[in-house]
Amino acid sequence: MDPNTAGWALVVALFLPLVGAGALAMMPASMDRQIRRAAVVITGVAFALVVAITAFFDFGRSGELQFTTDVPWITAIGARFELGMDGISLPLFFLTYLLTFLCAIYTTKHLPAPGKPKAFLSLMLMLQTGMAGTFVAFDLVLFFIFWELVLVPMFFMIGMWGGARRDYASVKFFLYTLFGSIFMLVAFLAIYFQAGAETWSIQALSEMAPFGSATFQTWAFFGIFLGFAIKVPMWPFHTWLPDAHTEAPTVGSVLLAGVLLKMGTYGFIRIALPILPEGSVRFAPLIGVLAVIGIIYGSLCCLAQTDVKRLIAFSSVGHMGFVMLGVAAMNEAGIQAALFGNIAHGIITGMLFFLAGSLHERYHTREIAVIGGGMLKKIPRYGVVLTFVAVASLGLPGLAGFWGEFTAMWAAISPGLGIGDTYSGLYLGLVVFAAIGTVLTAGYFLWLLQRVNLGEPSERWAAEPLDDVMRIEWVSWTPLLVLILALGIFPVLIFGVQDAAVTNLMGYLGG
């Protein structure tokens, strides 16, 4: 597989899940077990292909697009079918396939009411194509299609397999995201006509930038900002997230936190920044302020939660705040931090949602007060895993969560592109508040651990036979646990891959 010519590999990896979804839909619904196994095989083969792509990826040239495909698609509007990947896409693409594979394994044992593995897994595979496509599409129209393709399967996943308030949560998720994405579409079209080059290619538009007047840059950035900020989600556009995450089935939450949120930050970095550099610089302080509000607000909300899953959902708001703080820094370290934080949050929070799902399977509740402590005694292995992941999430050095947060704050002290000249005081303040946020984060996670892990099991659960971590759970969790540790010790695994690509990107931004 030569990364310069093997565009087919990427196309196959991308559409294999979609074809697989069709194949699953053809199977008779009575073949419950076989359907679940088939899904594992499909996602497994796709993941193996992505591992192969990663192996053949030319890391020496990670700044350039590899595995490209570029053919005309809709000639009437000049849209092309343009795929490729560079150092920024690769980690996210890899994460998508890994998480979906693990979710398929997890689903062989766990699937909430009303069952129906055929429909569930078909939707999950459709979702996979949508998510993965977003990270490798290099044509704005194609990007938009993949972006929107994610909505429908996720709507059904939440709406059919979700918790008690699933109706509300699924519709809210759909409408909220849709609202942002149409504004984004309008902005894309404005960019297309303003550039006047008859191209939707993200690369070509980045090279042409900056174009248009200051007013144009501001408004176009605003449209794109709405679309991406809702997806991230940034405060104050986050209100769909706690509902969607809490009500979604475990697999849905894992993919939502692990991949879907990343689409927003990826969009900022891949599209908004390089194509609209002037708009970005103008909006950067605002993004920084909203990000830090998100960090503080998310942490405070976490302190008030009584439901474990809702707590994890709100923690996402805080963590994505750190990611956006990195973006707001507008320098190389900041972008690196944002992308690293993306991956780390995907792995850690995805893992936390797995744990929350398994907690619910055992206790049939997620109320902290009802669980009432003593998990380390009752189900010790589970308790240890939870402790490990929670500590990673609060940013303990040596685990994956640390690097994104630390580097983001470090980068924000001296923002790039001349922002530091005007706003150095503001950014210093932001860093101070973000640092306070890390303390709060540590606070709510440690408090959570104290309430559910430590102490004696309450009377209600003392006699109840509860399973410790099952084999299927070990299989689907171990890769994530290993990654948390590995990325914590060797952050260069991600930083190194992204380095050249981020340098390129900063070149477009003029920094």
Partner 1 sequence: MLIDWLAIAPEIALTVTALVVLLADLNLRGTAKQLIAPLAGIGTVVAIVFTAVLWGDERTNFGGTFVINDFAVVFKLLFLGALLAILGISWRYFAESRYFQGEYYFLLLTSFVGMIIMPSARDLILLFIALETVSVPAFVMAGMRKRSLYSSEAALKFFLIGVLSVALMLFGMSMIYGFTGSTYLPDIAAGIEAIGTTEPLLLGAVMLVIVGFGFKISAVPFHFWAPDTYAGSPMPVAAMLAVASKAAGFAGLLAITFIAFEPLAEVWAPVLGVLAILTMTLGNLVALQQRDLIRLLAYSSVAQAGYMLIPFGLARSGPDAVVVNDAAVQAVMFYLVAYAVMNIGAFGVAIAVNRRTAIRSIADYAGLSARSPLLALGMTVFLLSLGGAPPTVGLWAKLEIVRAAMTDATPFGVVLMVFLVINSVIAFFYYLRVIKTMWMDEAREGLPELQPGFNLSAVVVVLMVGTVVLFVLPGLISGATSLTGLVAAG
Say how far apart CA 305 and CA 437 lie, in whole Å.
17
The minimum distance between CB 142 and partner 1, in angstroms, equals: 11
Residue with Cβ nearer partner 1 (126 or 352): 126
- Which residue among 101, 156, 354, 402 contacts partner 1 (CB under 8 A)? 156
Complex with partner 1: residue 185 or 281, whichever CB lies closer: 185
Please tell me the distance from the alpha carbon of residue 224 to that of residue 229, in angstroms, as a whole number.
8
Give the C-alpha separation, 45 to 123, whole Å: 18
User: How many residues bind to partner 1 according to rule CB under 8 A?
Assistant: 31
Q: Tell me the closest approach of the beta carbon of residue 247 to partner 1, in angstroms.
A: 13
| Contact track, partner 1, 179-208, x by CB under 8 A | x--xx-xx--xx-xx---------------
Cα separation, 232 vs 321, in Å, equals: 9
Residues 52, 46: Cα–Cα separation, whole Å = 10
- Residue 101 or 155 having the CB closest to partner 1: 155
Q: Count CB atoms within 10 A of the CB of residue 485.
A: 14
- Which is nearest to 403 in space by CA: 291, 483, 311, 313? 483
What's the closest the beta carbon of residue 473 comes to partner 1, in angstroms?
Answer: 28
Q: Does 322 bind partner 1 (CB under 8 A)?
A: no
Nearer to partner 1, 178 or 469 (CB): 178
Among residues 100, 107, 97, 197, the alpha carbon closest in space to that of 161 is found at: 107
**CB of residue 510 vs partner 1: minimum separation in angstroms?**
26
Helix (H) / strand (E) containing 349? helix 332-363
DSSP string, 198-235: S--BHHHHHHH-S-S-HHHHHHHHHHHHHHHHHHTTPT
Q: Cβ 159 to partner 1, closest distance in Å?
A: 5
Q: Residue 100 or 122: which CB sits closer to partner 1?
A: 122
Q: Is 295 in the site for partner 1 (CB under 8 A)?
A: no
CB of 312 to partner 1, least distance (A): 25
Q: For residue 171, state whether it binds partner 1 (rule: CB under 8 A).
A: yes
140: Cβ–Cβ under 8 A, 6 or more apart, which residues?
188, 191, 192, 200, 201, 202, 205, 271
- 178 in contact with partner 1 (CB under 8 A): yes
The 8-class DSSP code of residue 458 comes to P
* Out of 167, 198, 464, 467, the residue judged to bind partner 1 by CB under 8 A: 167
Whichever of 169 and 290 has its CB closer to partner 1, that residue is 169
Torsion-angle region of 314 (φ positive above 0: left; ψ -120 to 50: alpha; else: beta): alpha
Helix (H, G, I), strand (E, B) or coil at 367: strand
Name residues whose C-beta falls within 8 Å of residue 377's C-beta, 6 or more positions apart in sequence: 383, 456, 457
Each residue 74-113 as x (binds partner 1 by CB under 8 A) or -, in order, gives xxxx------------------------------------
User: Which stretch, 165-173, 240-248, 304-312, 418-426, contacts partner 1 (CB under 8 A)?
Assistant: 165-173
| Min separation Cβ 219 and partner 1, Å | 8
CB of 67 to partner 1, least distance (A): 22
Q: What is the DSSP string of 43-70?
A: HHHHHHHHHHHHHHS-GGGTTS-EEEEE
On the 0-12 / 13-18 / 19+ scale of CB atoms within 10 A, 11 is: middle
Q: Which is nearer to partner 1, 112 or 372 (CB)?
A: 112
The single residue among 19, 48, 175, 214 that binds partner 1, judged by CB under 8 A, is: 175
Burial of 442 (0-12, 13-18, 19+ CB in 10 A): middle
3 state SS of 511: coil
Closer residue to partner 1, CB minimum distance, 142 or 293:
142
In the complex, the smallest distance separating the C-beta of residue 171 from partner 1, rounded to whole angstroms, is 6
Minimum distance of partner 1 from residue 40's CB (angstroms): 24
Residues in contact with 41: Cβ distance below 8 Å, sequence separation at least 6, in sequence order: none
Stretch that binds partner 1, among 72-80, 280-288, 364-372, 464-472 (CB under 8 A): 72-80
Question: Residue 170, interface with partner 1 (CB under 8 A)?
Answer: yes
Please say whether the beta carbons of 377 and 457 come within 8 A. yes
Indicate the SS3 state at residue 467. coil
| Per-residue binder mask for partner 1 (CB under 8 A), 135-154, x = binder | ------x---x--xx-xx--
Options 160, 320, 337, 394; binder of partner 1; rule CB under 8 A: 160
Q: How far apart are CA 323 and CA 340, in angstroms?
A: 8
CB of 252 to partner 1, least distance (A): 14
What does the H/E/C string look like for 232-285? Answer: CCCCCCCCHHHHHHHHCCHHHHHHHHHHHHHHHHHHHHHHHHHHCHHHHHHHHH
Q: Which two three-digit tokens encode residue 225?
A: 């900002």
Closer residue to partner 1 in complex, CB, 141/506: 141
Which lies closer to partner 1 via its Cβ, residue 78 or residue 429?
A: 78
Residue ranges binding partner 1 (CB under 8 A): 73-77, 141, 145, 148-149, 151-152, 155-156, 159-160, 166-167, 170-171, 174-175, 178-179, 182-183, 185-186, 189-190, 192-193
